[in-house]
Structure 1
Amino acid sequence: MESARISQWLNLLVCVLLLLKAEGSLVPLILVENAESKGAVCLDGSPPAYHFDKGFGEGINSWIVHIEGGGWCNNIESCLDRKDTRLGSSKQMEDIYFSGILSNEQQFNPDFYNWNRVKVRYCDGSSFTGDVEEVDPTTNLHFRGARIFSAVIEELLAKGLERAENAILSGCSAGGLTTILHCDSFKTFLPSRANVKCVPDAGYFVNVEDISGAHFIQQYYSEVVSTHGSAKNLPTSCTSKLSPTLCFFPQYVASHISTPIFVVNSAYDSWQIRYIFVPGSADPSDSWNSCKVNMSNCSPDQLSKLQGFKSEFERALSEVGDSPSKGMFIDSCYAHCQTEPQETWFKTDSPKLANTTIAKAVADWFYGRSSFRHVDCNYPCNPSCQNRVFDLKDLPGI
Structure 2
Amino acid sequence: MMNVNAVLVAITLALLTCAPRCVYSDDQRLLVNMTLVRNASALGAFCLDGSLPAYHLHRGFGGGARNWLLQFEGGGWCNSIKSCLDRANTRRGSTRYMSKWEVFSGILSNNASLNPDFYNWNRVKLRYCDGASFAGDAVYKNGTSLLYFRGQKIWEAIMLDLLPKGLGQARKALLSGSSAGGLSSFLHCNNFTKYLPSTASVKCLSDAGFFLDKRDISSNHTMRSFVKDVVSLHGVEKNLDENCTASSLNFPELCFFPQYAMKFITPPFFILNSAYDVYQFHHILVPPSADPQGHWNRCKLNPAACNPQQLNTLQEFRRDMIVAMGLSYKYSRRGGFFINSCFAHGQSESQDTWFAADSPRVHNRTIAEAVGDWYFCRRATKEIDCPYPCRSTTCHNLIP
TM-score (structure 2 length as normaliser): 0.91
- Alpha-carbon distance, 1:346 to partner: 0.2
Work out whether residues 274 and 342 of structure 2, in 8 Å CA contact, stay in contact via their aligned partners in 1.
yes
- Alpha-carbon distance, 1:384 to partner: 3.5
**Matched letter for residue 140 of structure 1:** L
In the other structure, the counterpart of 1:191 is 197
Work out whether residues 25 and 31 of structure 2, in 8 Å CA contact, stay in contact via their aligned partners in 1.
no
Matches within 5 A, 1:267-278: 267-278=275-286
**Relative to 1, partners in 2 of residues 1:346 and 1:266: Cα closer, same or farther, differing over 3 Å?**
same
CA deviation map 1:65-93 (0-9, x unaligned): 00000000001011011001111000011
The answer to whether residue 339 in structure 2 is matched with residue 326 in structure 1 is no
Structure 2 gaps, min length 5: 1-23
Work out whether residues 293 and 389 of structure 1, in 8 Å CA contact, stay in contact via their aligned partners in 2.
no
- Alpha-carbon distance, 1:383 to partner: 2.3
In the other structure, the counterpart of 2:236 is 230
**Relative to 1, partners in 2 of residues 1:135 and 1:35: Cα closer, same or farther, differing over 3 Å?**
farther
Alignment: residue pair count: 373
Matches within 5 A, 1:50-129: 50-94=55-99, 95-129=101-135
% same residue: 50
Structure 1 CA distance for aligned equivalents of residues 184 and 58 of structure 2:
21
In the other structure, the counterpart of 1:5 is none
Instruction: Specify which of 207, 215, 223 is matched with residue 221 of structure 2.
Output: 215
- Alpha-carbon distance, 1:142 to partner: 0.5
Structure 2 CA distance for aligned equivalents of residues 300 and 176 of structure 1:
32
Moved over 4 A (4+): none
**Matched letter for residue 244 of structure 2:** C
**Matched letter for residue 371 of structure 1:** A
- Alpha-carbon distance, 1:377 to partner: 1.0
- Alpha-carbon distance, 1:58 to partner: 0.6
In the other structure, the counterpart of 2:166 is 160
- Alpha-carbon distance, 1:19 to partner: 7.4
Q: Secondary structure at the match of 1:253?
A: helix
Structure 1 gaps, min length 5: 1-16
CA deviation map 1:325-381 (0-9, x unaligned): 100000111011011000000001101111111101111111111110011111121
Q: How large is the RMSD of aligned CA atoms in angstroms?
A: 1.3
Q: Secondary structure at the match of 1:158?
A: helix
The answer to whether residue 369 in structure 2 is matched with residue 360 in structure 1 is yes
Q: Secondary structure at the match of 2:373?
A: helix
CA deviation map 1:261-312 (0-9, x unaligned): 0100001101100110000000001111111122122111111110011111
Matches within 5 A, 1:1-398: 20-21=27-28, 24-94=29-99, 95-133=101-139, 135-242=141-248, 243-321=251-329, 322-390=331-399, 394=400
Structure 1 CA distance for aligned equivalents of residues 156 and 25 of structure 2:
38
- Alpha-carbon distance, 1:387 to partner: 3.9
